[in-house]
Amino acid sequence: MRSLLFVPADDAKKQQKALASAADAIILDMEDSVAAANKIKARQTIAEFYRQLSSDKIIIIRINALDTDLWQADMQAILTHAPDYILIPKARSGADVTTINELIKSNPKAAIKTQIIALVTELPESIFNIASFKNSGDALAGLTWGAEDLSAEIGAQTNKDKNGVYFPVYQMARSFCLLGAAHAEVPAIDSVFTNFKDLEGLKAEAERARIEGFRSKMLIHPCQIATVNEVFKPSEAEINHAKRVIEAIENSASGGVAQLNGEMIDQPHYKRALNLIKQL
């Protein structure tokens, strides 16, 4: 997955448009995109969505947080559909993942295919518990982060400076997501870029995210899809170089060190090359 597009879970028209888009995955959002009065409607709309679904698009459903009285009804409503992924917002620790993991295993249909993505920086406690997401359940398949809820929890007026650069605490949260994902051996997914009219800013942020190790990016508007898909698509040059690195290491006498184009390469280069090929 390169692009993950948020769509309100109670808006059938936007869901159909999202299915027809070039987004690799769509996130049916039962949480922030849905008003309190429409939570039941969101569950009903998702049921109708699956009754009509004929696309092979990757479907992710964001449930309400586990510190609310909504998430259990959400899970009861969606497990029968066996979505590709369940996105857990405001995941406090690996215990939240374990809870959802056990529910997935209890449903024969979901147990076969449904995986978990955890949003791990929206609460201060989540950041301190980042290491706990490792071994929190065999369904865990990704970690992502967000700055909007975290800024509200902190009591900040905004999370970026006048130049659009995240303040240090949010840069730290972003870094913790990367480290936590590496520790849990799952992909890291970058957060949304909220100014959907600023495609140049989106491109710059996405390029930095990919260089730093994020595998994909969440989106809030269809106009962002093309930019993110292009940024996160490995180029032919990158693919060819990765193949040469793999070949050089695997054919070296030691199996650990080799030379390529006058440069010494070793296991970190080999691992990066393998990771890139896995994305194809």
Tens digit of pLDDT at every position of the chain (280 positions): 999 999 999 999 999 999 999 999 999 999 999 999 999 999 999 999 999 999 999 999 999 999 999 999 999 999 999 999 999 999 999 999 999 999 999 999 999 999 999 999 999 999 999 999 999 999 999 999 999 999 999 999 999 999 999 999 999 999 999 999 999 999 999 999 999 999 999 999 999 999 999 999 999 999 999 999 999 988 777 788 789 888 888 888 776 788 888 888 888 888 888 888 877 7
The tally of CA atoms less than 13 A away on the side-chain side of residue 256 is 1
Yes or no: say if 138 and 162 are a contact pair by the CB < 8 Å rule. no
Same domain, yes or no: 215 and 248: no
Same domain, yes or no: 125 and 260: no
The amino acid occupying position 19 is L
* pLDDT reported for residue 16: 97
C-alpha–C-alpha distance, residues 87 and 64, integer Å: 9
The tally of CA atoms less than 13 A away on the side-chain side of residue 30 is 29
Same domain, yes or no: 251 and 181: no
Same domain, yes or no: 107 and 65: yes
* pLDDT reported for residue 124: 97
DSSP letters for the chain: --EEEEEETT-HHHHHHHHTSS-SEEEEESSTTS-GGGHHHHHHHHHHHHHH-----EEEEE---TTSSSHHHHHHHHGGG--SEEEETT--SHHHHHHHHHHHHHSHHHHHH-EEEEE-SSSHHHHHTGGGGTTS-TTEEEEE--SHHHHHHHT-S-SB-TTSPBPHHHHHHHHHHHHHHHHHTS-EEE---S-TT-HHHHHHHHHHHHHHT--EEEESSGGGHHHHHHHTSPPHHHHHHHHHHHHHHHTSSSSS-EEETTEEE-HHHHHHHHHHHHT-
Same domain, yes or no: 11 and 104: yes
pTM metric for this prediction: 0.89
The CA R_g of the chain, rounded to the nearest whole Å, is: 20
Same domain, yes or no: 146 and 42: yes
C-alpha–C-alpha distance, residues 232 and 54, integer Å: 26
Same domain, yes or no: 9 and 130: yes
* pLDDT reported for residue 212: 95
How many domains, the chain? 2
Same domain, yes or no: 109 and 208: yes
* pLDDT reported for residue 108: 96
C-alpha–C-alpha distance, residues 68 and 75, integer Å: 13
Structural domain harbouring 180 = 3-231
* pLDDT reported for residue 266: 85
* pLDDT reported for residue 269: 83
Same domain, yes or no: 224 and 260: no
* pLDDT reported for residue 261: 84
Same domain, yes or no: 136 and 274: no
CATH code (residue 60): 3.20.20.60
Same domain, yes or no: 27 and 114: yes
Yes or no: say if 72 and 39 are a contact pair by the CB < 8 Å rule. no
Residues 6+ apart with CB under 8 A from 154: 124, 169
Same domain, yes or no: 84 and 218: yes
